Structure 1
């Protein structure tokens, strides 16, 4: 399963997030419907350093919705336990962070200011919010204070801005640093780009030059260990955040950990090893959901990612995407030609969401000023959605 590749030369020291030392400066990004406890456990077993749970909304957490509380449950081996919170109201966000910290539900909280989804940005949330500097400042400051009272560090994740003419990331970095955030991560795309095109690693380098006293983490287009090393070389980032690149490839974290430890060993699993990983993922899903049918339904979306590049016919792929029990899963996996070796480039590269650029959906008049109007304040109240995991 392991073969040597070219030796890497750039190494990073352990990442520090407040009082926590992360041995491997590699962060698993929160992804809706993907990074539940089952998948995080897989990534931890393969070497991820910090693994952030799916995003929860501050309002849903304050209201203690059962589905939200399930999202912020962690495996015994997860340390530090990391939760991501989204919100647009400073008091509600601070309240959510206070619950996580005071009740010992998490050891680290990340604030999401990078979501490009129209239902969020059209009300001024997610990646649209840093445009309003005062509001962004109040949310970060309140969250840092709420977490700090219990020794829980707060970090910030953002995008470059709304579009190339309305960039916000440097202001966001300065504010986060000034208000006591423990780190800032930059997804080097704009809201308008969504997940299309190429991440602008030069922006990560500029942010690193601007923010000097807290770690700067780079996110975007890390599909291999070599990508991660190259990002660090190009940008000077203190760590990397991996999202879509690990979908169906939790072993990517073993490659990343090896690269940053100076090793040239990489994991190149044949289909038999992939099938074993899929089954392990299925077991973890059932354990997490406490329901075999629900666990299997949640696993189905991962199948195409796991099988990318392998010679698995359409009928077999379709049957695996319909499994309803662990017994069915084992039977259908065993029916594959499991002696296939790693298919090389066919199993690598981009995966998950990509698409094309999309005009950013924003509240009417949002870009006219960096200050909030009364109308925009009302829209932000409506943006406090009582749903999580988006």
Structure 2
């Protein structure tokens, strides 16, 4: 039974976000094809894969291709990653000056070792002054074009180094249009449960801009529960939509107080999968698209009665004709399995966060760490 929730509409800069739902940027996932597919089910903000600020400044061809948006995508939303206020500001100036995006988010939540070992991602908010300088410089660069700049971060590095309350207050003070909290530490990665009480604490601390919650939203009811329990202004959905782009239609119905759509049969899921593949071909060409769609197969078929041989075929698919042949072998009438609404995607196990030498010695040190790799997408 879906709950109902009455709350003022989410507004980020000049944009009304109704329903108050944001697709989290995910490396190798939230390209223009997947975003378009999701948007066909429901409104919201759909964020591009993470873009490295340095790659924008140096106009890396692969990054410029990733900064592609659909004809009807509005607002065009992009997430930037960087560790240097000057580089971030220059990247923002390029993006807004050339009209490449309508909304810029920033990544201070990535827990991946290759990012944190250079002081980036979830490691950076520990350096309060540097974090504030990056946000301030980016906001100033975006203001001239009226482009909202938002900030996403985690609870902290680990349970001994929580940074989210300081990060929220600093982002608010420096002019961010909204903040988002993934309610896990970097040490948790994607394991265990998100601690939604931290979202409530951030909402209490940050009072003049929207606070969005992220973590463990796998159903529409999860989104409504998070907002009811924490008071947050909107939700950010990541792994819950892997192989389930129709989740955004369920979210839109839930926030509008309408009955939930009937879950898709296996045949309907196969049609979505084929549509996803077609969109990838349009964006990246046949060969890259066929390689890219393979990683989505297990997510689409999660819980369905699909035999091991057929699953292997989907995981190695190399052409549209082969895909159609495999789809024809499925039991199209198989109902959607209840178990498939649970956790999906990478979870991993908790572990020590890799940091630069001496990183935790002084939180007020604003020395810019080693320049980030020029590698967008995560």
Q: Return 5+ residue gaps in structure 2 as ranges.
A: none
Alignment partner for residue 154 of structure 1, among 144, 149, 155?
Answer: 149
> What SS does the corresponding residue of 1:269 show, helix, strand or coil?
coil
Indicate the residue corresponding to 2:341 in structure 1. Answer: 348
| 1:373, distance to aligned residue in structure 2 (A) | 7.3
> What SS does the corresponding residue of 2:370 show, helix, strand or coil?
helix
Indicate the residue corresponding to 2:275 in structure 1. Answer: 280
- Distance verdict in 2 for CA 1:323–1:8, change over 3 Å: same
Question: Taking structure 2 as the reference length, what is the TM-score of the superposition?
Answer: 0.98
Indicate the residue corresponding to 1:388 in structure 2. Answer: 376
Say whether 1:328 aligns with 2:322. yes
**Larger deviation, residues 263-272 vs 157-166:** 263-272
Indicate the residue corresponding to 1:365 in structure 2. Answer: 358
| 1:160, distance to aligned residue in structure 2 (A) | 0.4
> What SS does the corresponding residue of 2:374 show, helix, strand or coil?
coil
1:288-343 Cα deviation digits (max 9, x unpaired)? 10x21111111100000000010000110110111111121111111111121112
> What SS does the corresponding residue of 1:218 show, helix, strand or coil?
strand
Distance in 2 between the 1:136 and 1:34 partners?
27
Equivalent residues of 1:12, 1:260 under 8 A apart:
no
> What SS does the corresponding residue of 2:342 show, helix, strand or coil?
coil
Indicate the residue corresponding to 1:117 in structure 2. Answer: 112
| 1:264, distance to aligned residue in structure 2 (A) | 2.5
1:234-263 Cα deviation digits (max 9, x unpaired)? 000000000000000001111111111111
Alignment partner for residue 260 of structure 2, among 254, 258, 265?
Answer: 265
Say whether 1:73 aligns with 2:61. no
Indicate the residue corresponding to 2:244 in structure 1. Answer: 249
Equivalent residues of 2:2, 2:221 under 8 A apart:
no
Say whether 1:337 aligns with 2:317. no
Distance in 2 between the 1:23 and 1:341 partners?
30
| 1:30, distance to aligned residue in structure 2 (A) | 0.2
Say whether 1:224 aligns with 2:224. no
Equivalent residues of 2:2, 2:220 under 8 A apart:
no
Q: For this pair of structures, how many residues does the alignment match?
A: 378
Distance in 2 between the 1:63 and 1:234 partners?
44
Equivalent residues of 2:119, 2:370 under 8 A apart:
no
Q: Write the mapping of 1:1-390 to structure 2, written as runs, cut at 5 A.
A: 6-289=1-284, 291-345=285-339, 347-372=340-365, 377=368, 380-382=369-371, 384-390=372-378
Greater than 2 Å deviation, 4+ residue runs: 11-14, 371-374
- Distance verdict in 2 for CA 1:170–1:46, change over 3 Å: same
Distance in 2 between the 1:19 and 1:364 partners?
42
Indicate the residue corresponding to 1:3 in structure 2. Answer: none
1:248-284 Cα deviation digits (max 9, x unpaired)? 0001111111111111223411001000000000000
1:193-237 Cα deviation digits (max 9, x unpaired)? 000010010000000011001000000000000100000010000
Equivalent residues of 1:28, 1:50 under 8 A apart:
yes
> What SS does the corresponding residue of 2:261 show, helix, strand or coil?
strand
Question: Taking structure 1 as the reference length, what is the TM-score of the superposition?
Answer: 0.95
Q: Return 5+ residue gaps in structure 1 as ranges.
A: 1-5
Distance in 2 between the 1:259 and 1:372 partners?
45
> What SS does the corresponding residue of 2:291 show, helix, strand or coil?
helix
